[in-house]
Amino acid sequence: MANTVSAGEGARAGYGFIRQAWRGAPGALVLSAVAAAAYLYVDFAGLGRGALAATLLFSVAVGVIAQGALLRLALKLDGLGPAGLQWRGLETRLLGLTLLTALLFAVVVLVLIIVILCVVLGLSMAGGGRAIVDDADWIASLGAPGAIALVVISLGGAAFIMWLSLRLSLAPAATAVAGRIQLLNTFDLTKGRVWPILGAFIIVGLPIFAIAFVGGALSAMGEGAAPGGAALAVAVVSGLLTAFVYTPAAIGLIAYLHGRLAPAGDAR
């Protein structure tokens, strides 16, 4: 039935798209795997902010190319390049969408930080004006009520960011179909359907969650940077999983959701 979605059906649609993605855009997926592995290796190995920034920019550009190729396949749009390698109007719009989304979330995080600082400052003034953030254990200096308030605000902010991510999750598909950048106007499509969408993305992201846990554990054991060989192994496996499993499955899921939830004239 149209306009209804389920987590299980969405996850099946996502994973079911993987083989089509492998056949239709192998070049884009290989390039995406290299970019993801490079970024993750620099991150896990702690090679510095400059290298991290450079690999991040490369990953974003390559990610846009792969996303454009996969959206064309999933939504049956024209313009797919050889092996999925192309940069046309859709890729430019997707890059603009990426930048707008990053700006939106940056504003949200900034507002959250300001709220937290206001709470800390208010509690500091209530306690006699002492600059509690200078204390080594400043959270403890807030007292139990202050610490609870800080935790509640932080968790609420994290929940809001996740909710906003899910509400905007159909923006790439809507942008591809509409031929123009679509961001906040995708809110109507996901209204009242956050929980099944969340469930589907959790299922689709299980491989990435597992490898992220392993990478985090290695970094913790290495006091912030995984050992060289371990960092390379985790980066390669993570890059391959991200490019060849998670990204196609996520695009397949987004295409499924858009097809179910968009108005009849806008769905593909």
Asked whether residue 171 is domain-assigned, the answer is yes
Give DSSP secondary structure letters for 20-70.
Answer: HHHHH-HHHHHHHHHHHHHHHHHHHHT--HHHHHHHHHHHHHHHHHHHHHH
Does 266 reside within a domain?
no
Amino acid identity at 241: L
CA dihedral (138, 140, 146, 147) in degrees, to 10, reads 100
Structural domain contains residue 268: no
Mean pLDDT of the chain: 85
Query: What is the maximum alpha-carbon separation in the chain?
Result: 67
4-13, 127-136, 158-167, 211-220: which range is least confident on average? 127-136
Residues 6+ apart with CB under 8 A from 139: 147, 150
In Å, what is the CA distance from 63 to each residue of 3, 66, 70, 161, 227?
A: 29, 5, 10, 22, 27
Task: Give the CA count within 13 Å in the CB-facing half-sphere of 210.
Answer: 9
Q: Tell me the pLDDT tens digit for each residue of 157-177.
A: 999 999 999 999 999 999 999
For residue 126, with 0-12 CB atoms within 10 Å meaning exposed, 13-18 middle and 19 or more buried, which class applies?
Answer: exposed
Find the domain containing 230 and state its range.
7-261
The Cα 233–Cα 227 span in angstroms is 10
Asked whether residue 38 is domain-assigned, the answer is yes
Radius of gyration over every alpha carbon of the chain, rounded to an integer in angstroms: 21
Task: State the Cα–Cα distance between residues 55 and 32, nearest whole angstrom.
Answer: 12
Between CA 68 and CA 91 the distance in angstroms is: 6
Report if residue 2 sits inside a domain: no
The pLDDT-based confidence of 1 (bands split at 50, 70, 90) is very low
Q: Is the dihedral of CA 202, 207, 208, 210 positive or negative?
A: positive
Q: Is 86 left (phi over 0), alpha (psi -120 to 50) or beta?
A: beta
Residue % of the chain over a pLDDT of 70: 81
For residue 81, what pLDDT is reported? 95
Indicate the number of domains in the chain. Answer: 1
pTM over 0.75: yes
| Chain segment 117-167, per-residue pLDDT in tens | 887 777 666 655 554 555 545 555 666 666 777 788 889 999 999 999 999
In a domain, 143, yes or no: yes
Asked if residue 64 is part of any domain, the answer here is yes
Q: 3-state class of 187 per DSSP? A: helix
* Nearest of 179, 14, 184, 16 to residue 90 by alpha carbon: 179
Q: Nearest-CA neighbor of 189 among 172, 205, 206, 202?
A: 172
Tokens representing 66 are 């792969």
1, part of any domain: no
